[in-house]
Chains A and B, each alone.
Chain A
């Protein structure tokens, strides 16, 4: 292990931000520990917060609450020079779209972070050449990104992320733009990065990468199993919430009695989307598509609702009615 090798602790991390005129909470009270020298895979569909978590780990995004600690350094509390130092020396990032600077050749791209950190030109170039050789690009040192394949660009990006030998390495969808031959080479390199005790966190929605990981961090919201649970009745008093915006989705509801308001939390406060009454259904999109609740449902009057699992709801309304129900609102 390197002297800087340490465990990564994510504690009660929540990220909430405004997107357009409404709020989203892609990360909701996340708790994870990644051991030194291990590769953790952030797995989940688009929009589940993988990139948001990487942004927090890279100290690019401040979480709403919670903390991220690497060794004895709390990343989430960094600011000013300490923040810059962390970005330079504490973490290396391999971006999804490679993000190489098109006007710089491979060596210059890898040397750029070192030059910004004050490393001399000769030393930076020498180290860049060494890193590129280590990822198998001996013959592509002076090529510009537009003359490199996707896999070669990804390897240059990995070499750049390693330029200042960071103890924490992040990779955002590193295989997204690669064919299967290129993927093989990149996976081998990613796996080897943990050899000296480095923590590697890789985000992906590609479950073929599972064998690569020492640890899987499931970023999909925790839902109730989509099994045939019996319908359950819920009673709300006026003002009481059935569920809140951003909550994991479980059941689809049909109103038996009373009235409920569907409201969205926006940057300007709550926006009333609809008031629903007996016979109306609500909350179908989340359970059907594995999404979080996109609005809060609150009882306007004392109300009674029946909650259905997806299967039970399908049986209740008839499978052929689902498409029109989805289109309906």
Chain B
């Protein structure tokens, strides 16, 4: 029956090719959705990793260093941790507004950027920006709030909230921007967990900070997950429809097979093989499509390797589930149909 199943694939190749392309598009969209969801998480990981803090301390009233603006006196924690001020700002680029996250950091201390291109922060009025901040190039200036900053270097992949680029400036510049130069910060960064923190502060691990950053994106991520499930259902529907239609068309073939002693299980196995071949072919094309389409998205799409590795497994499961209705149809075919004129 295996040969008959494969021959039938050849025989109806136009239909199968159309189905494979359709399913591949759906699988590719599923992969891209996975990549979108993954990029939300990965950008936070990269940003926190580059800041290199083991523990964070924020105001007791703050939900986290990036989601709340609760200034704390810089002197409150002494000199052990480095201070940071996180500010959400916009940059006007000739009428186009760009959202950025400005991190005021102590130059040369924990949290200060290590530029992958250009130089690190050295002077007031300098900025190190994420490479996605494409308003200006290194050496050029831009307006942030009431102040002008000159880009001296860039970092890579440091974004939050689904692609907002990080702009590193000195702590003093951040203080000048938002608290009239008063010695305040919104978070302290520790290299190792402190024995105790001053009253009015609370500590957070990187995992807690990450969860706090992702919290506003929970609905978006849940929606993406839901769309992903819907896409699997669409793919299953396409595969199931094609196989069921085929089972209907091949009723007489199946009746002849049964009348000549082929078991229903063997006929069903042939259909299952077709489902697997269709699914795997669609998976291969989907992977290529996803890689090709990813650069077209305005947002960063990072499809994890596990996504590619799981795709064949998921597609085969989807394909087999989708073929169940067709399998049921084959089981009910009466071999007496073969005697019809």
Contact = CB atoms under 8 A, between A and B. Distances in A.
A248 B340 CA distance: 25
B223 interface: no
Interface in A202-251: none
B38 interface: no
Interface stretch (A65-73, A82-90, A269-277, A278-286): A82-90
A55 B255 CA distance: 12
Contact of A95 (B7, B262, B263, B339): B339
Contacts of A104: 3-4, 7
Q: Which of A54, A85, A103 has the most chain B CB within a 10 Å cutoff?
A: A103
Q: Interface residues of B toward A: which range?
A: 20 to 34
Q: Which of A60, A84, A97, A108 has the most chain B CB within a 10 Å cutoff?
A: A60
A55 B338 CA distance: 9
B308 interface: no
B266 A116 contact: yes
Contact of A116 (B10, B11, B253, B257): B257
A112 interface: yes
Interface in A74-88: 84-88
Interface residues of A, number: 31
B271 to A, nearest CB: 14
Contacts, number: 81
B259 A103 contact: no
Given A87-B259, A113-B261, A108 B339 contact: no
A112 B336 contact: no
A2 interface: no
B51 interface: no
Contacts of A89: 261
A99 B336 contact: no
A60 B259 contact: yes
Interface string A51-62: 100110010110
A324 B7 CA distance: 57
A161 to B, nearest CB: 8
Contacts of A117: 261
A101 B4 contact: yes
Contacts of A96: 339-341
Contacts of A9: none
Given A116-B261, A116-B262, A176-B341, A99 B1 contact: no
B252 interface: yes
Contacts of A103: 4, 7-8, 10-12
Contacts of B252: 97, 99
A52 to B, nearest CB: 9
Contacts of A160: 260
B307 interface: no
A102 interface: yes
A290 to B, nearest CB: 20
A261 interface: no
Contacts of B8: 101, 103
Nearest to B10: A103
Q: Which of B259, B260, B335, B340 has the most chain A CB within a 10 Å cutoff?
A: B260
B21 interface: no
Contacts of B257: 112, 116
A200 interface: no
A173 interface: yes
Contacts of A85: 261
B256 interface: yes
Interface in B301-341: 335-336, 338-341
B7 A116 contact: no
Contacts of A115: 1, 3
A251 B180 CA distance: 118
B261 A84 contact: yes
A116 B1 contact: yes
A102 B253 CA distance: 9
A51 B106 CA distance: 94
A101 B251 CA distance: 11
Interface in B47-105: none
Interface in B1-50: 1, 3-4, 7-8, 10-12
Nearest to A113: B260
A117 B259 CA distance: 13
Contacts of B260: 87-88, 93, 112-113, 116, 160
Interface string B258-287: 111111001000000000000000000000
B336 A55 contact: yes
A84 B261 CA distance: 5
A116 B256 CA distance: 12
Interface of B: 1, 3-4, 7-8, 10-12, 252-253, 255-263, 266, 335-336, 338-341
28 contacts: A55-B336, A55-B339, A60-B335, A60-B336, A61-B336, A84-B263, A86-B261, A87-B258, A87-B259, A87-B261, A89-B261, A95-B256, A95-B338, A96-B339, A97-B340, A97-B341, A99-B256, A101-B8, A102-B253, A103-B7, A103-B8, A104-B3, A104-B4, A112-B260, A115-B1, A116-B263, A160-B260, A173-B341
10 closest cross-chain pairs (CB), A and B:
A88-B261, A103-B11, A87-B261, A116-B262, A103-B7, A113-B260, A103-B8, A99-B256, A60-B335, A96-B341
Given A51-B339, A86-B261, A95-B259, 20 more contacts: A55-B336, A60-B335, A60-B338, A93-B259, A95-B256, A97-B341, A99-B253, A99-B338, A101-B253, A103-B8, A103-B10, A103-B11, A103-B12, A112-B4, A112-B262, A115-B1, A115-B3, A116-B1, A172-B339, A176-B341
